[in-house]
Amino acid sequence: MTITPNVAGNLALNLRKFDLSGFDPLLKELYQHDKYTYQHSVRVGHYMQRLGERLSLSSDQLEEAYLVGLLHDIGKLRMDKKILQKRSMLSTQELELMRAHPKESVAILKDYNLPDIITNAILHHHENLNGTGYYAVEGANLSLYSKMIRIVDSYDAMTSNRAYRTALPIDAAVHELQNGEGAFFDHELLQKFIATCDYNKRK
Ligand SMILES: [Fe+2]
């Protein structure tokens, strides 16, 4: 799926609670900075919506979940493109910089007056249930949206072509997610998300 900035709104729900147009400049900037991160963000928003529907979330909650997905990596705007697009393993110092991006996302979004439930999930999108994520926040302190995005963000990263590896087929990505069930990913949410994966397509 090739995604360009002007179609983000088309992929979104018919948003009633939030006006997406306020984020257009940021999203366009992200597209210019790192096309992969932009496209990944739109897909993750789409997966958040899909999982939210499976969880029978309200329409307001679906909008919140979509925005968490769409904006979670906006902090990568402040990261050097060379690190984002590096083909080889990141150095310890580069990894430290990478770990700052959820905090940078929240910093960039500070002026947008988003509800805490959205910004907290963005801050915690790399947290594992067992407390081994970027900021060592344990599952008991993670919100529903944080646990949702941990799954769908990982799924999209695995099923996308990157500079350093080709995309995994869906069944292999699902297998990888299952390997992290309980330690990284919430059991029930993972089952619900897997049920939405279309095994007839590569992605
Ligand atoms: Fe991220």
From first to last of its 203 residues, what are the pLDDT tens digits of the chain? Answer: 444 454 455 455 566 667 777 888 999 999 999 999 999 999 999 999 999 999 999 999 999 999 999 999 999 999 999 999 998 889 999 999 999 999 999 999 999 999 999 999 999 999 999 999 999 999 999 999 999 999 999 999 999 998 778 999 999 999 999 999 999 999 999 999 999 987 655 44
Query: How far, in Å, from the CA of 73 to the mean position of ligand 1?
Result: 5
Longest alpha-carbon distance in the chain: 43
CB-based contacts of 55: which residues, under 8 Å, 6+ apart? 189, 192
Residue type, 82: K
By the CB criterion, residues less than 5 angstroms from ion ligand 1 are 73
Kindly list the structural domains of the chain, giving each domain's residue range(s) and its CATH number in brackets, ordered by start.
Answer: 8-196 (1.10.3210.10)
Compute the Cα dihedral for 122, 118, 107, 10 and give only its sign.
Answer: positive
**Which pTM was predicted?**
0.91
CB 41 within 8 A of CB 23: no
Give the separation between CA 52 and CA 12, rounded to whole angstroms.
13
Query: How far, in Å, from the CA of 76 to the mean position of ligand 1?
Result: 8
Query: How far, in Å, from the CA of 18 to the mean position of ligand 1?
Result: 22
